[in-house]
Structure 1
Amino acid sequence: MSVDGASIDWTSLATTLAKDPRPLVHGARMDVAGPGYELTAPRDGSVLCSVPEPSARDVQHAVECARAEQQVGCWPGFTPRVRGEILKDWADGIEAQRVELALLVSLETGKPVREALEVDLQSVVKALRWHGALADKLHGDHPDVGSRDLALVSREAVGVVGILLPSNFPLSLIGYDVAPALMLGNSVVIKPSEQAPLSVLRVCEIAVEAGVSRDAISVLPGLSSTVGQAIARHGDIDAISVTGSVAAGRAVMAASAESNGKRVWPELGGKSAALIFQDAGDIGAAAAALAWGSFLNQGEMCTGCSRVLVEAPVHDEFVDAFSREIDKLRLGDPLDWATTVGALTTRRQRELAEDAVARTVDGGGSIVRGGEVRDVVEGGHYFPPTLLTEAAPDSPVFTDEVFSPIVAVRSFDDVDDAQATIHASGYGMGLSVWTSSLDRAFQVTRRAKVGIAWVNCFEGDDMTVPAGGVGRSGYGRTKGLAVLDKYSDIKTTWVHLDS
């Protein structure tokens, strides 16, 4: 059943929405004594709630519950089909509460509530159902090693998995990381972003209600420097997935190296680039696709487009078309259904956006659209969709991951120089290539050091294909069958047969 979001008074609903920030351990909310921190709403800076922080002992308790589930619990012993059916029931439970969950996501992250409902909630439901259907389709192998021996190759759950979630798409990553980990029979200990704990806590509470064993899933909100590090350093966690900044990924990898050497799967963003050739055809279509990919979620998206190289003869045409796409967007209160660009998640993120624009202009760049802070709602963290041209290759919009709605466009004459500019940052998330020449498309994408290459589109996506980057963007993968390697071990069993 669909929801008519335009008819809902989201602002009034927000005043009565329950917000429980307590950790979820052993199937129930747990009172903790930690001092915690105040969680504020990006839309207006108001305090949503006070989040109590779990202690090292609380983290230990959650991990002990997860390990006990692996040793004596029922979740690993369920058949894959049963686990898959429970994931599908979890999806149904989320769908039934999608209005509440979309509002929580919007309040925490600043994204438009319409986007939270139509993108975030749909993605987690779709991913849970996909993994639920996949659960009983996996199988091992038994190579032919001759008549005197039998070789069996099986995929087994890692055991206890730590999952550190980002603030930009907290629920989507539940579907992309938590779902496959549980599907394989693991126990998970989740640390949501300090900015977005409420929606994750509520979704995982629904998981227990749907039948996920209470010790197979725990959620510990708190700061990355304390709770995140406690999980990363814990000696009884077998693997950990981290989605966030390069600094966050490196901190987790260092913690693993200094503890039990658990495998770490980092997905570290970097945002994506685009190459547009003069034979692309419909420049307006390219501009529309890239504008959508640039400003979705206020540009706070690891695969979002932030730098565009356009072949010189069509540069001005593209800039004009892209500018018109920006003019169609509406920067506004995230709780207004008509808003298409909401608030940045933190005030610090807005400051970094201002700084990136200022440094780019100081380096010779020009502002075509946006570029200045706007007070949409008093106390909020708003920054308009911004288009920069003539940005130097060493400007922050080309060398750094600017997690905000900023796009830089440069012209190019030589494709080798253009690709060198794109790859100079060391990030390797995605590249979008626009050309009518299939030969050129393959030449460019084969040379590109990226995890995802799109041709004549942006953000082409399906649950069947892996997503992730290379280089500074990390090497973790979500979606497709590649995600199974994060949360499972391959075992070979060799049996010698009597003659």
Structure 2
Amino acid sequence: MVERTKHDWVKDAAGLRLRDKAFIDGKPVDALSGETFDSINPATGALLAKVAACGEADVDRAVRSARAAFEDGRWSGRSPAERKAVLLRLADLIRENSVELALLDSLDMGKLVTDAATIDVPGSAAIFQWYAEAIDKVYDEVAPTGAGNLALVRREALGVVGAVVPWNFPLDMATWKCAPALAMGNSVVLKPAEQSPLSALRLAELAVEAGLPDGVLNVVPGLGEITGRALGLHPDVDCITFTGSTQVGKYFLGYSAQSNMKQVWLECGGKSPNLIFADCEDLDAAADMAAFGIFFNQGEICSANSRLLVEKSIAETFLEKMAERAARYVPGNPLDPASTMGAIVDEAQTGRILSFIDHAKATSRLVTGGERVSIDGKGCFVQPTIFADVAADDRLSREEVFGPVLAVTTFDTEAEAIGLANDTIYGLAASVWTSNLSRAHRVSDKLKAGTVSVNTVDALSPMTPFGGFKQSGIGRDLSLHAFDKFSGLKTTWIKY
């Protein structure tokens, strides 16, 4: 992307056309009730749009549209090569509309527009491209049987997939769910977070422009407790894929049990540890990435490295380095390329983060930050914050903050570090910094986390699975393994 100025971004933001209707059966529609909810810019408090608030009846018509599309084969019946061509065109359209999509996510949830433009949007296009390229390379199987028998094992699309995604990476998370589900031939009903519905609605339009048939991708914006619940309970949804909090993930398990026993795939919370050993030869690189791991995207990341575990002999030195790095993350106007941290998604989340900070001020040592700030007298902004001497049983060590707040705890031995790292209900991600190859393998083997990053943080790509153990979820996004969530194995046994 050509380098852009604050003036460029502000000018383009002023000219945006915001989609405020649901997208069902290939066209924008109002909620049947006529109800709406407010989409607010957290950096300014300004009203962006009044978006259709879908209810149970709207979810039902979206599911019926998706089911009809699946059953008549307008998408599910197309060859892998045909589906591939459409999704590759969608990837291109995402790139062609990158400025608009980046602005939608920045205005909607407060992230830096430069991050959206250089990371989120190109990443979303790359994932659609990757799954498009992968789908005609996934082979079926022939099981070994005796003479006169042929056992074919085929992978079939499930049908209607309900995708419920969070607000921290609105376009990215929609892509993580929709790309493999659509590539397999499923129909999708996508429910974006009420805090950030705008890019999902635009994505649905671009999908139709790319050649996706009407009804194959429907978007139902609305409140989680109404729209999300209706999708989770719907008896004609075959699968729910969800990214969000652990508590809401448990709700979806309950909805499945109360309805049709639909498959439920969850990517939930985390309290990811970052272990810094004294034998790490590049503490500056470790500090750079540790700061990135908690302050990027305002700390609103499920796999954020929010627990920093440092070997005691280097703890104070490392804390000084972390304070220096924190000073580089300065909250500012998300449309200004000079800003290094954006806004928190809304007032409710800002208040939640501040409650953690207030608690920690009474129980731990504040190293830096700890205050709410405003830009031009407005906005949901919180300083990058570091607390030291945080006890392992403290709330700040146990609960997910989902904000730019780092809890630092020291350890003496490798065994103690591993024990502290695994002492959590979560198991999403972990990082290890050491120059000892044996230690890197040994510690990685013992950490209970879906992804362990060694001498980096939060490593991921379309080629590797992302997800966690324990209460961080069930199933994996990304990689070829994502196809497992959106397909079922059918055996056809032929005796001849």
TM-score interval, smaller chain: over 0.9
Contact 1:208 1:214 in 2 (8 A): yes
Distance change in 2, residues 1:116/1:356 (3 Å)? same
Task: State the alpha-carbon separation in 1 of the partners of residues 277 and 169 from structure 2.
Answer: 32
Q: Distance in 1 between matches of 2:46 and 2:332?
A: 16
Q: Give the deviation of 1:378 after TM superposition.
A: 2.8
TM-score with structure 1 length normalisation?
0.97
Residue type of the alignment partner of 2:85: E
Alignment partner of 1:411: what SS?
A: strand
Partner of 2:425: 426
The answer (yes or no) to whether the contact 1:84–1:133 under 8 Å persists in 2 is yes
Per-residue CA deviation, residues 291-348 of structure 1 (Å, 9 max, x unaligned), is: 1121111000111111111111111121111111112222101111111210000111
Deviation at 1:397, TM superposition (A): 2.0
Distance (whole Å) between structure 1 residues aligned to residue 139 and residue 159 of structure 2: 18
Aligned equivalent of 2:403: 404
Q: Distance in 2 between matches of 1:394 and 1:38?
A: 38
Aligned equivalents of 1:309 and 1:418: distance in 2? 7
Deviations 1:398-442, CA, capped at 9 Å, x for gaps:
100110011111211133333332332211111101111222122
Deviation at 1:118, TM superposition (A): 0.7
186-195 or 244-253, which moves further after superposition? Answer: 244-253
Residue identity opposite 1:435 in structure 2 = T
In structure 2, distance between residues paired with 1:214 and 1:8: 38
Query: In structure 1, what is the Cα distance between the partners aligned to 2:264 and 2:6?
Result: 44
Matches of 1:231 and 1:157 in 2, distance apart? Answer: 19
1:294 counterpart letter in structure 2: I
2:444–2:452 CA contact under 8 A, matched in 1: yes
Deviation at 1:7, TM superposition (A): 6.4
Aligned to 1:315: 315
Determine whether 1:34 maps to 2:1: no
Structure 2: distance between partners of 1:466 and 1:8: 39
Identity of aligned residues (%): 38
Q: Which residue of 2 aligns with 1:472?
A: 471
Which position in structure 2 is the counterpart of 1:371?
Answer: 370
Report the alpha carbon displacement of residue 8 of structure 1 after superposing the two structures with TM: 4.7
Separation in structure 1 between the aligned mates of residue 301 and residue 48 of structure 2, nearest angstrom: 24
CA contact (8 A) 1:34 1:55 kept: no
Q: RMSD value over aligned CA atoms?
A: 1.3
Give unpaired runs (5+ residues) of structure 2: none
Written as runs of structure 1 = structure 2, the 5 A alignment for 1:316-465 is: 316-363=316-363, 365-465=364-464
Check the 8 A contact 2:87/2:128 in 1, yes or no. yes
Contact 2:66 2:216 in 1 (8 A): yes
Q: State the one-letter code of the partner of 1:466.
A: P
**Residue 5 (structure 1) shift:** 2.2
- 2-structure distance, mates of 1:454, 1:128: 25
1:489 and 2:488 equivalent? Answer: yes
Q: How far apart in 1 are the matches of 2:394 and 2:343?
A: 24
SS of equivalent to 2:296: helix
Which amino acid in the other structure matches residue 112 of structure 2? P
Q: What is the alpha-carbon distance in structure 1 between the residues aligned to residue 26 and residue 229 of structure 2?
A: 23
Q: Which residue of 2 aligns with 1:56?
A: 56
- TM normalised by structure 2 equals 0.97
SS at 2:431 equivalent: strand
Corresponding position: 1:25 with 2:30 = no
CA distance in 1, matches of 2:218, 2:136: 24
Name the residue aligned to 2:5: 6
Aligned AA (2:487) = S
**Residues 6 and 335 in structure 2, CA contact (< 8 A), matched pair in contact too:** no
Secondary structure at the aligned position of 1:222 is classed as coil
Q: Is 2:271–2:399's contact at 8 Å kept on the other side of the alignment?
A: no
Tell me the distance in 2 between the aligned counterparts of 1:152 and 1:377: 65
Contact between 1:343 and 1:381, CA under 8 Å: does it hold in 2? Answer: yes
Does residue 1:226 correspond to 2:226, yes or no? Answer: yes
Aligned residue identity for 1:356? F
Check the 8 A contact 2:274/2:308 in 1, yes or no: yes
Q: Cα deviations across residues 93-131 of structure 1 (Å, max 9, x unaligned)? A: 111111111111000110011011111101101101101
Q: Distance in 2 between matches of 1:50 and 1:271?
A: 34
Distance 1:134 1:100 in 2: 28
- On the 8 A contact 2:272/2:306 being kept in 1, the answer is yes
Deviation for aligned residue 1:87: 0.6
Matched residue type, 1:170: P
The equivalent residue for 2:144 is 144
**Superposition deviation, residue 77 in structure 1:** 0.9
Summarize the alignment of residues 91-130 of structure 1 with structure 2, pairs less than 5 Å apart: 91-130=91-130
Residue 183 of structure 1 pairs with residue 183 of structure 2: yes
Which region of structure 1 is more displaced relative to structure 2, 168-177 or 185-194? 168-177
Contact 2:76 2:186 in 1 (8 A): yes
The 3-state SS of whatever aligns with 2:87 is: helix
Distance in structure 1 (CA, Å) of the matches to 2:246 and 2:350: 19
